[in-house]
Amino acid sequence: MADTPNTVSLTIDGHEVTVPKGTTLLEAAKTIGEDVPHYCYHPGLSAPAMCRLCLVEVEGAPKPMPSCVTTAADGQVVHTQSDLALSRRRGVLEFYLVNHPLDCPICDQSGECKLQDYVHQEGRDHGRSREPKRVFGRDDFGGDVLFYGDRCVMCTRCVRFMTEMEQDSRLTVVERGNRSVIDTFFEEGLEGTNWSGNIVDICPVGALVSKDFLHKARAWDLEHTPSICPSCSQGCNISLHTRDNLVQRLKPRENMEVNGWWMCDHGRANYEWMNHGQRLEAPLVRTEDAVRAMGWKEAVGALLDRAETTSGSVKAVVSPFASNEDLAAVRSLVDALGGGSMVYRMARADAEVPMDGFPILARRRDLAPNGRGAEIMGASRVGDDDGVGGLDDVAGHDGVVIVLGDPLVDQDASFGQSASLFAYLGMHGSPATGAADFSLPITNFAEQEGTFTNHEGRVQRFWPGLRGPGAAQPAWFVLGAFQAARSGDPAPRSAADAFAALAASEPALAGMTYDDLGARGAVLNETVSVPGG
């Protein structure tokens, strides 16, 4: 019996299950850890119940029911593993293999393929088809998408994604019956769409693959690290898929409050920079006669010495790609050195690129992940919408100049020449960093743990998927060591420590901890008026 009018109780595989009214049997089965095989069903799309793979036995029903559209009812007795259910699903799986090319050795999906998984899980030992297979061949859909028609299981997730989510019906099923094939309008392709990379993700088999990822890595060789997309201020939850200390691809990670299951093509494609070589690998310190590479201890010591003898106000340039922890460390430094200004520069697109079928999701205008975080730390945006300019009064400043993460590509070698102290904490050197007294190698977001604050004020964690180059360290770690040496207070030993210190000092983040943020993030305290909010 129902506990409340809004729930129903039923029995699935012998387990009593209580779920909200309207829950499908497939979702209800998940609550007991039973993942009923399915292709066409995707929780973010309409359910056509056409793959027929999710058939389960419902006592009293005249035939096996598709669990993706059958809603749970009070007192229902459902068997997902009965002879009838298994036999019907085995039959469906055999049908899938009649025309499938079984080209797993050369298929990118191999290892993360639902056809492989399900056949292994509950399919027949061997297929009985002796007939010649149907051949469709390969079709370049444009954008990053390549279509292998022979591998397709006709689940139409891709067609429904384009129609329901992107709301640009570029894909369709052409022909009917066994001749059915997914296609675009002849040569029209997917060119000019903004979200079509998602169809590669939701394709349960290797029919839709990424051209960028084609034959690049085997799925089982990839490490998955939860992260946040750094390409705009939406803060899409993603995974970094890495191998050999290189990011191989980005994949969206479900978060219903931010990006659902999706991410945009712009963000998906923008990862090569994370693998960029030519990094600063050791602290470089300008001494009287030369620039010398040093160990961290020596470099921090030298910085301490310089800081003691340096005067003048501080002007800091920070990056909206830096984590909250790193930004907070710079702010502390600025304060410790007597105070001054903080600015950041950020590219801004002309318009948002919304996803019509999931209205909270858009490629935002701000093309960096943490402009909001920089604002909260007291930085103001300068420069133009290309993310350059605006540093005239910093370039010639005669006090302390601190630069975090901004590679100053638009500046020339005169930058910081007049500064009493010019410390550059960055990934790459450039002509404009040549005058730096200290060039300190720091890690990028993919190489460290930290948090970003997205456009709506959601603080979200990311984890390190890559090892930083050489001696590079997170900026919070470097500056934390500096501050500790200066004040005698203990240095933060982890990103969590750094965040805890931040939460303690910044009202907007008060009360947040890494544990609470988890993998889903939390929104800033609403009662606090947030700059840039």
Partner 1 sequence: MSDAPFKNPGWAGNTGEFDLTEDEVRGDDFVGSRPSGGGHPSVSATYPYMLAEKNPDTPLFEGAYKERFEKILTRYPTKQAALLPALALAQEIRGYVSPQSMDRVAELLELSSAYVRGVTTFYTMYNKAPVGRHLVQVCTNISCNLCGAEDVLAAFLRYTDTELGEMSEDGNFTVIEAECLAACGFPTCVQINSRYYENVTPAEVPKIIERLKAGAAGGDV
Partner 2 sequence: MAYPYVSDREVRVLSKNFGDPSARRLDTYVERGGYSALKKAFELGPDGVVDVVKASGLRGRGGAGFPTGVKWSFMPKDSNKPHYLLCNADESEPGTFKDRELIRWDPHQLIEGVLIGAYAIRAEHAYIYCRGEFFETTQVLARALEEAYEKGYVGKDIQGSGVDIDITVHLGAGAYICGEETGLMNSLEGQRGQPRIKPPFPAAVGAFGMPSTINNVETLAAIPHIVAHGGEWYRQWGTEKSPGTKLFCVSGHVNKPGNYELPLGFPLMDLIEDVCGGMRDGKALKAVIPGGSSVPILNAAECAACSLDYEGVVEAGSMLGCASVIVMDENTDIVKQVRRMVQFYAHESCGQCTPCREGTAWMTKILQRIEDGRGTEDDLQTLLDMGVQMTGTTICVLSDSAAAPVESSILKFKDEYLALIRRGERVGAA
Residue number with CB closer to partner 1 (188 or 272): 188
- Contact flag: residue 166 with partner 1 (CB under 8 A): no
Determine how many CB atoms are found less than 10 A away from the CB of residue 269: 16
Distance (Å, whole) CA 236 – CA 381: 22
Residue number with CB closer to partner 2 (39 or 358): 39
Distances, alpha carbon 487 to alpha carbons 130, 483, 493, in Å = 78, 6, 16
Which partner in partner 1, partner 2, none is near 52 (CB below 5 to 8 A by kind)?
partner 2
What is the identity of the amino acid at 219?
Answer: A
Paired residues of 12 in beta bridges: 15, 78
- Contact flag: residue 53 with partner 2 (CB under 8 A): yes
- Contact flag: residue 185 with partner 1 (CB under 8 A): yes
* Candidate residues 78, 92, 113, 171; the one interacting with partner 1 per rule CB under 8 A: 171
Nearest to 59 by CA among 75, 43, 78: 78
3-state secondary structure of 26: helix
Cβ at position 129, least distance to partner 2 in Å = 6
- Contact flag: residue 160 with partner 1 (CB under 8 A): no
* Candidate residues 31, 46, 121, 169; the one interacting with partner 1 per rule CB under 8 A: 169
Please tell me the chain's helix, strand, coil percentages from 3-state DSSP, rounded to the nearest 5.
25, 20, 50
- Contact flag: residue 56 with partner 2 (CB under 8 A): no
Paired residues of 138 in beta bridges: 148
Nearest to 65 by CA among 46, 38, 43: 38
Residue number with CB closer to partner 2 (16 or 131): 131
Cβ at position 179, least distance to partner 1 in Å = 9
- Sign of the CA dihedral 10, 11, 16, 20? negative
3-state secondary structure of 340: strand
Residue number with CB closer to partner 2 (63 or 120): 63
Residues in contact with partner 2, counted by CB under 8 A, come to a total of: 36
Cβ at position 216, least distance to partner 2 in Å = 31
Distances, alpha carbon 304 to alpha carbons 16, 427, 471, 501, in Å = 65, 22, 19, 22
Residue number with CB closer to partner 2 (11 or 180): 180
Which partner in partner 2, partner 1, none is near 49 (CB below 5 to 8 A by kind)?
partner 2
* Candidate residues 178, 287, 311, 380; the one interacting with partner 2 per rule CB under 8 A: 178
Paired residues of 453 in beta bridges: 459
Nearest to 73 by CA among 7, 4, 123, 137: 7
Residue number with CB closer to partner 1 (179 or 215): 179
Query: Given the rule CB under 8 A, which residues bind partner 1?
Result: 168-176, 183-186, 188
Query: Given the rule CB under 8 A, which residues bind partner 2?
Result: 48-53, 55, 62-64, 66, 69, 87-88, 91-92, 94-96, 98-99, 128-132, 134, 153-154, 173, 175-180
